């Protein structure tokens, strides 16, 4: 009998696991995406807090060597903030995780914030940064438009060696066009489309030092944001002459009511702000347009609790609060009286259909202005210019 052991069976080799084709985006595994996304998200709060503290320190040191150091530190921190936002935007875009949230806004206010963000960078590079006023009122997602324009301005300032950057807006055939012009080196014709791809830059190697802090996805983000807004982002350029990036959005444009009202609004400064508490989207947009057309700014709330929280900080107190809640008179009356009890110095107006009813009478007795909808520009001006004693009822619209 043969006692030799039976030959060993060959070991089974497990088949190589198949990979989900969506697991990699630009060569980055999903796990890495999640880590980077969480990091960028969590970085926002401490970065914003640091930027606010640096801005306060710059105000306290208006001149001298400390001021120069603070300016440089502030620029470096803003670079980090912009880089993290660009990476976070790219990851959200790759997962279709962005939905536009349109609001009415004065375009000069949006572009003015971009200018203030990059004035220091322009001065550091010895460049002019010019933003032309337009007086336009538009309904769009302000966060997305701001991200597009800010990235274009930042890129233009980085690439431009001499001269400056111009930001201007115009209304053309039912579309809003925002242009960013620069006097930089220009872009070769064969590179026009490739610069909108992730991690692709121009071939001018002498600009490498200027591109520190550029993570390579800003223009791709901008074009994707424009697509989400149903618009386009394009560029025209000539080598040695500069470039113009053109954001075109299919939205109607209104203008500030008059030069006189704009001049009066500028004299109001912070006191010209109007707080809107409105539950209906279409009503909210209508009131936002009205406030902006008078040359004033607005803060908008759908949640009454958000307004109460906002008013806790004295610096946030508006000149007027307009309440138009569709959920019921009891909630409207309660909110108006609660705000007035907490902040008796504030002027409050409630839009109310029945001006002679018991609820309207009770509100007027408590010191709340009661106005019949729809609110008109004349009535808004009356409410803004009336003595701020909280007890004067305005005329019906």
Write the pLDDT tens digit of every residue in 284-296: 999 999 988 887 8
Tell me the pairing of strands 320-324 and 274-278: parallel
pTM (global) more than 0.85: no
Q: Lowest mean pLDDT: which of 59-63, 222-226, 325-329, 381-385?
A: 325-329
Write the pLDDT tens digit of every residue in 355-378: 888 888 888 888 899 998 899 988
Measure the CA–CA gap between 135 and 246, rounded to whole angstroms: 19
Over range 14-18, report the average pLDDT. 49
> Where is pLDDT greater, at 353 or 350?
350
- pLDDT category at 193 given cuts 50, 70, 90 is confident
- Flag whether pLDDT at 128 surpasses 90: yes
Q: What was the pLDDT predicted at 13?
A: 47
Over range 104-117, report the average pLDDT. 89
The CATH code of domain 258-385 reads 3.40.50.2300
Residue 374, preceding bond cis, omega within 30 degrees? Answer: yes
Over range 117-127, report the average pLDDT. 87
Measure the CA–CA gap between 316 and 327, rounded to whole angstroms: 26
Domain 103-201+214-249 CATH assignment equals 3.20.20.70: no
- Flag whether pLDDT at 252 surpasses 90: no
Helices (H), the chain: 30-60, 65-94, 107-124, 142-159, 218-228, 259-268, 281-293, 304-311, 329-342, 358-366, 377-385
Q: Lowest mean pLDDT: which of 83-87, 111-115, 202-206?
A: 202-206
Measure the CA–CA gap between 380 and 268, rounded to whole angstroms: 14
Residue with tokens 């579309």: 175
> Where is pLDDT greater, at 47 or 261?
47
- Flag whether pLDDT at 383 surpasses 70: yes
Measure the CA–CA gap between 144 and 225, rounded to whole angstroms: 6
Highest mean pLDDT among 190-199, 263-272, 304-313, 324-333: 304-313
Q: What is the mean pLDDT of the chain?
A: 77
- How far, in Å, are 41, 79, 243, 396 from residue 156 at the CA level? 26, 14, 8, 51
- pLDDT category at 259 given cuts 50, 70, 90 is very low
């Amino acid at each position: 009998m043969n006692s030799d052991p039976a030959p060993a069976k060959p070991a089974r080799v497990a088949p190589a696991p198949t990979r989900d084709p969506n697991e990699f985006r630009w060569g980055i595994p999903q796990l890495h995406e999640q880590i980077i996304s969480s990091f960028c998200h969590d970085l926002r709060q401490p970065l914003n807090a640091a930027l606010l503290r640096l801005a306060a320190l710059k105000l306290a040191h208006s001149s001298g060597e400390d001021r120069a150091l603070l300016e440089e530190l502030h620029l470096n921190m803003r670079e980090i903030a912009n880089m993290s936002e660009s990476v976070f935007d790219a990851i959200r875009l790759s997962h279709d995780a962005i939905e536009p949230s349109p609001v009415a806004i004065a375009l000069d206010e949006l572009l003015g914030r971009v200018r203030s963000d990059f004035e220091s960078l322009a001065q550091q590079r010895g460049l002019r940064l010019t933003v032309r006023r337009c007086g336009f009122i538009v309904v769009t997602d302000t966060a997305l438009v701001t991200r597009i324009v800010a990235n274009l301005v930042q890129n233009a300032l980085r690439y431009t060696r001499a001269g400056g950057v111009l930001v201007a807006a115009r209304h053309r055939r039912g579309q809003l066009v925002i242009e960013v012009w620069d006097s930089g080196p220009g872009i070769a014709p064969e590179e026009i489309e490739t610069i909108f791809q992730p991690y692709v830059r121009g071939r001018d190697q002498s600009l490498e030092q200027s591109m520190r802090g550029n993570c390579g996805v800003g223009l791709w983000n901008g074009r994707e944001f424009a697509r989400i807004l149903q618009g386009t982002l394009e560029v025209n350029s000539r080598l040695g002459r500069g470039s113009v990036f053109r954001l075109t959005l299919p939205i109607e444009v209104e203008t500030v009511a008059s030069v006189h009202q704009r001049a009066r609004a500028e004299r109001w400064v912070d006191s010209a702000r109007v707080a809107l508490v409105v539950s209906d989207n279409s009503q909210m947009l209508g009131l936002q347009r009205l406030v902006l057309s008078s040359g004033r700014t607005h803060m908008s709330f759908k949640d009454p609790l958000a307004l109460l929280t906002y008013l806790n900080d004295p610096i946030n107190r508006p000149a007027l609060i307009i309440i138009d809640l569709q959920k019921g008179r009891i909630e409207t009356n309660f909110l108006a009286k609660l705000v007035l009890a907490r902040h008796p110095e504030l002027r409050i107006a409630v839009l109310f259909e029945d001006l002679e009813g018991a609820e309207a009478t009770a509100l007027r007795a408590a010191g709340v202005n009661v106005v019949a909808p729809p609110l008109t520009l004349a009535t808004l001006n009356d409410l803004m210019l009336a003595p701020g004693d909280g007890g004067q009822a305005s005329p019906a619209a």
